[in-house]
Copies of this chain bind each other. A is one copy, B any other.
Amino acid sequence: MPAQQPSLDAIFSALADPTRRAILGMLLEDDMAVTDVAAPFQVSLAAISKHLAVLAAAGLIRQERRGRIIWCKLEPDGLRNASVWMQGFGQFEPVDLDDFERFLREALPLADGDEAKS
């Protein structure tokens, strides 16, 4: 069940994890099977499976089974509410895609080292 609008709680805490953000970044380029999503990470497949469940619950991705493969695809509208909410603070000028590209490159060295603890 797609459920009703996921809460901002769900969305933001889904985004709070670097692994999950990395996954979203990957899915931005292409739909992927669970195993493939898991490949670049050090953690177990089960862990990734859970991450995907969290993202799905937050409405950020959709998972649909075809055969024995479950395809994960981005649900871009999932970010809409959160985005609307954030935009309210300080009127940013309409965001520039170059900024985003740069950001992706910096913020998505994938997995492990990503954001060091201290």
Q: How far is the CA of A89 from the CA of B81 in the complex (A)?
A: 12
Taking a contact as CB atoms under 8 Å apart, the answer to whether B103 and A90 are in contact is no
Interface residue from B18, B28, B83, B87 paired with A9 (Cβ < 8 Å) = B18
Copies of this chain, tallied across the complex: 2
Q: Nearest Cβ distance between residue A97 and chain B, in whole angstroms?
A: 7
With contact pairs A8-B21, A115-B7 given, residues A90 and B86 touching in the complex (Cβ less than 8 Å): no
Chain B residues with CB below 8 A from A21, complex form: 8, 85
Interface residue from B84, B99, B115 paired with A8 (Cβ < 8 Å) = B115
Taking a contact as CB atoms under 8 Å apart, the answer to whether B18 and A8 are in contact is yes
Q: Which 5 A-B pairs give the minimum distances between C-beta atoms?
A: A76-B90, A88-B100, A13-B16, A12-B16, A87-B95
